[in-house]
Amino acid sequence: MATILVVDDSTTMRQMVCFTLTSAGHDVVEAADGQQGVEAAKQGKFDLVITDVNMPVMNGIELVRALRALPDYKFIPMLVLTTESDQSIKQRGREAGATGWIVKPFSPDVLLNTLGKVLD
Amino acid sequence: MINDLMVIIKIYRDKLLLILLILSMPWAFAFGYVPWWMNLVFLGMVPLAGLILIFRILPMPDEPRRESDDPNVSDANIRKMRKMSSGIHNLLSRWAQVSHNSRSSIEEVATHVDDVISYSEKSIIDVSKNFINVTRKTRRQVDHALGLLERTRGGADSASGSRSLPELVEAYEVMARQVVASLGRISETSQQLEKRHEQVRENLKHIDTLLDQLSAHDSQIGMLALNTSVAAGGTGADFVSVSDQIRTISLESKALTRDIRRTLEEVRSQSQETHGAVRQAVQQARDAASSAEDESSKLKAGMLENSRALEQTLAQISALGNEIQADINNIIVALQFQDITQQKLQRLKHPMLTDLTTSLRAIFDETRVLSSKLQTTGMVDRAGEERRGAAQSAAEAPTEARAQEPQQAKPKGAASDTVEIF
């Protein structure tokens, strides 16, 4: 079971993601924006990061870029969970260092399945 | 009104006399034939008819060129430009009014959007919290039920030492078999005991026979002692003495034989009682073994039936658990749609509605300024001015320029599930 950092400005969305992950036995830490996400990542050690794109203070792409700059998170998988499906934004996410892209709304089965793939 | 009249009179001043003359011809014709007061009425009606003719019937005269007009531009073009200016002025006035109304409407929509976002966020948070609590409790219930059923079905927990229902049935069956076997052994032992008892009885009979023979010998010894005593007569005291002793021994032997017989009778009686008890015990053991076997069979069948029922319940609970999981997944997707809708509303409100309001405000201000400028240049004709009032009243009515209401994200049946791993 993995320890996962979930970053999303929407409380409901965080709750849904956390519920899905904790039900599958994972440990979850929440953050409401990119800045909080970076601070949480520095304080703890996570096996996976799931982030939204459109967030206040620091968006998801910037968060991924900031985390990739940290030595501990160079090779940690990072999934982007967002309503954005435009190829140009996906490309930006990929360039920033995102491991995968999931378009909201997500199905819990699909999320867990994707998690399994990237954690393997 | 007075100004308009003065302008028109000024324009038609060379034709005014002719117009009045034409209008007064019927009066002049009837001058000598009607009373004086009717002449006065007719005379008063002539200018009135002239005004009606000028304002309502005759075409509007062309305005004279102004000093500011370009002398190189023809009168026709100036008239066209003035007409266009009036149209633009009218349009701008309407646009200013509409944009003002639209801005108010958009500000109201923005307020409502704020309210909707606030309410929906609160309700979604409450719903999701409750939903999570309920699903966690339900899951715990299902887990407990499944664990219990797993234990009863056969997934014995070696650590706790508890045994499954089939194992219990098996153990009970073994125990019942052991009980039946024990009862069988008791029965066999009883039968052997009965046989031995028969032997004892046979032996007792034999002892009886021997005692009878001993008794007969005692009688014969007695008779022999008596005969010896009679035959001897008085031949010798010693012989008599021996004969007495024989008699005494014979009597003692008889007494002993009686005692032994009495004792044997008691033994026989006790043996018969024991035999009856053993026989009864054998019968009871047989009955108990048979009953235990029957009960064991019934109990085993009942427990197996219960086990099958538990198996079915387990399958049903498992299926129900899967259905609940599917429902939970659907609810999670539905809640996400709500959240996405809320985010879209937020984006619609800011910056779209805010920008639109700002733009409308700017347009409204610029339009008013332009409209005022057009009015002050004197290029707006009268017809345009007249139409302006009507346009303004029309603009006050609800217009099509209202801000489009935020479109809610269409809930779909399932999640989009677009996943891409780079």
Residue A95 — very low, low, confident or very high, per pLDDT cuts 50/70/90? very high
Q: Decide if B419 and A90 are in contact by the 8 Å CB cutoff.
A: no
Q: Which residue does chain B place closest to A98, by CA atoms?
A: B422
Average pLDDT, integer, range B103-111: 81
Instruction: Give the residue with greater pLDDT, B98 vs B166.
Output: B98
B404 vs B55, more confident: B55
- B380, pLDDT greater than 70: no
Q: In this structure, are residues B351 and A54 in contact, taking their beta carbons and an 8 Å threshold?
A: no
How many Å apart are CA A69 and CA B22, to the nearest integer? 101
Q: How confident is the model at residue B399 (pLDDT cuts 50, 70, 90)?
A: very low
Query: Which of B128, B340, B420 minimises the CB distance to A104?
Result: B340
B301-351 residue pLDDT tens? 877 887 788 788 778 877 877 888 888 888 888 888 877 887 777 777 777
Q: How is residue A71 annotated by DSSP? A: G
pLDDT at B183 over 50: yes
Q: Is the pLDDT of residue A74 over 50?
A: yes
Nearest CA in chain B to A11: B125
Predicted confidence at residue B290, as pLDDT, reads 81
Instruction: Pull the structure tokens for residue B300.
Output: 């085993």
Across B30-39, B158-167, B287-296, B340-349, least confident range: B158-167
> Worst-scoring range by mean pLDDT, B218-227, B328-337, B402-411?
B402-411
- Which residues of B fall within a CB distance of 8 Å from A117? 421
Tokens found for residue B36: 């004086």
If you average pLDDT over residues B264-292, what whole number do you get?
Answer: 80
According to the per-residue pLDDT averaged within each range, which of A45-49, B166-170, B260-264 is highest? A45-49
Q: Searching chain B, which residue's CA lies closest to the CA of residue A118?
A: B421
Band (pLDDT 50/70/90 cuts) for residue B402 is: very low
pLDDT band at A59 (very low <50, low <70, confident <90, very high): very high
Check whether B50 has a pLDDT greater than 50.
yes
pLDDT given at position B391 = 46
pLDDT band at B61 (very low <50, low <70, confident <90, very high): low
pLDDT recorded at residue A42: 94
Q: Is the pLDDT of residue B405 over 60?
A: no
At residue A9, does pLDDT exceed 60?
yes
CA-based nearest distance A74→chain B, Å: 15
- Please give the residue of chain A at the shortest CA–CA distance from B334: A105
Residues 100 to 159 of B: which have CB under 8 A from any A CB?
121, 124-125, 128-129, 132, 135, 139
Mean per-residue pLDDT, B135-145: 78
> Two tokens at B208?
């009886």
What is the reported pLDDT for B404?
38
Residue B352: pLDDT band with limits 50, 70, 90: confident
The alpha carbon of residue A31 is apart from the nearest alpha carbon of chain B, in Å, by 16
Cβ contacts of B340 on chain A, cutoff 8 Å: 83, 104-105
Beta bridge partners of A6: A30, A50
Which carries the bigger pLDDT value, residue A105 or residue B237? A105
Mind listing the pLDDT tens digit for each residue in B287-303?
Answer: 877 887 787 788 778 77
Q: Which residues of A touch B336 (CB under 8 A)?
A: 12-13, 16, 104-106
Asked if residue B15 has pLDDT above 60, the reply is: yes
Residue B163 has pLDDT above 70, yes or no: no
- For residue A118, give the nearest of B336, B339, B421 by CB distance: B421
Residues B32/B55, Cβ–Cβ less than 8 Å: no
d(CA A100, CA A120): 13
Q: Which of residues 99-118 of A touch B (CB under 8 A)?
A: 99-110, 114, 117-118
For residue A82, how many other CB atoms are within 10 A of its CB?
Answer: 24
pLDDT at B235: 60
Interchain proximity A114–B419, CB inside 8 Å:
yes
Nearest to A12 among B128, B135, B418 (CB): B128
- How far away is chain B from the Cα of A45, in angstroms, using its nearest Cα? 23
Q: Which of B36-45, B134-143, B376-385 has the lowest mean pLDDT?
A: B376-385
**DSSP character string of chain A:** --EEEEE-S-HHHHHHHHHHHHHTT-EEEEESSHHHHHHHHHHS--SEEEE-SS-SSS-HHHHHHHHHTSGGGSSS-EEEEES---HHHHHHHHHHT-SEEEESSPPHHHHHHHHHHHH-
Q: Which two tokens stand for residue B137?
A: 């409790």
Higher per-residue confidence, B94 vs B4: B94
Query: Average pLDDT, stretch B9-16?
Result: 73
Q: How confident is the model at residue A89 (pLDDT cuts 50, 70, 90)?
A: very high
Under 8 Å CB-to-CB from B293, ≥6 apart: which residues? B176, B180
Of A95, A107, A106, A102, residue with least CA distance to A118:
A102
More confident call, B62 vs A57: A57
Which of the four pLDDT bands, split at 50, 70 and 90, describes residue B377?
Answer: low
Q: CA of A41, closest CA in chain B: separation in Å?
A: 22
Between CA B406 and CA B171 the distance in angstroms is: 71
